[in-house]
Structure 1
Amino acid sequence: MNAEQTGLRVEEILSGLTESADPAGRAAAEALVRALMDFYGAGLARLAALLRDADADGRAVLDDELVTGLLVLHDLHPDDVPTRIARGLAAHPQHRAELLDYDEHARSVRLRIPAASGGCGCANTSVDGAREAIEGVLGGYAPEIERIEIEEAPAAPAQPALLQIGNRTIDPVRAAR
């Protein structure tokens, strides 16, 4: 499909919508077109900027969530899903998670997050917060994923108290009593 054919097709569709008797449907369709144009415009602008500033191999472009979203939307992304998951998690280090498994058929991913720290007894808050953040991140990098399973890494075992042995002088008067 070339640009001229696409332009003519868009004009044809918009003319049909303008002639439609349903004003609500027409307004919704126009809003949809505007949203898509904004999305594509922002993605293409970002792609152009990243290509201009990219390192020698150009892979920095694939670290961008918006560009990745455009490429995935059109099944053009060169990386497989597990690679995109890893890229997404690496691009947002504040949401540390380890990829344990990706099931293509179930469209699910299993991740492990670090154990909660602080001893407040609020491990669910940690998992719930991580889930929300990770779902947001992976939505842009791997929208194919329909289910995310998160397990919390076991907490490190408590270290035994250290016996302090040192050189201290003993008071002979006190020791004799």
Structure 2
Amino acid sequence: MSDEGAVAAQQHRIDELIVALEALDDPRAREPARELLQVVLDLHTNGLARLMEIVSAAGVMDEAMIEAFERDAGVSALLLLHGLHPQDLPTRVSRAVEKMRPLLGAQGIQIELLDAAEEAVRVRVAGRLQGKHNSVGELQQEIERAIFEAAPETMRVDIAGLPDVNVHELHFVPHHTETASRTEAGAQ
């Protein structure tokens, strides 16, 4: 399993366990479990914050180090969870959009970042969808996934221009029709 896959599986399991914890009927079991979770999270936050201070004080917190943190799915997810990521939300979203630009461009779609905030990330798309995606819905899911991975604290992703994206339709032309057209054209 890839690093991203392992992190996603762990995050999914955490979500499942939180739901199970909240579903407990016995408050004597639920409250200490919540408190335990909070104390462990606080311990990790304080330790990671101190680690970031040490790395920064050592003078190694440069652009290369920040990029290494971002590339490592586990480290990035941990820093995001504890509010310690060295890049702010607009920078992370801008980088996510920049990463998507060539992939979407190859599919006939242009993407532009309009605004990045916790309340909402706003992007605009335009073009004629062709290639990998079968629908505008798949395109929307890919854009949302990339942005939420970069900025999980954002509440929603608004995609302007999505209803206007044209979908390239592939048409099957039977071989005999194509051959007949060429034959007729050659006879003239």
- State the TM-score, normalized to the length of structure 2: 0.44
Q: Which structure shows the bigger proportion of residues in helix conformation?
A: 2
What's the TM-score once normalised by structure 1's chain length? 0.46
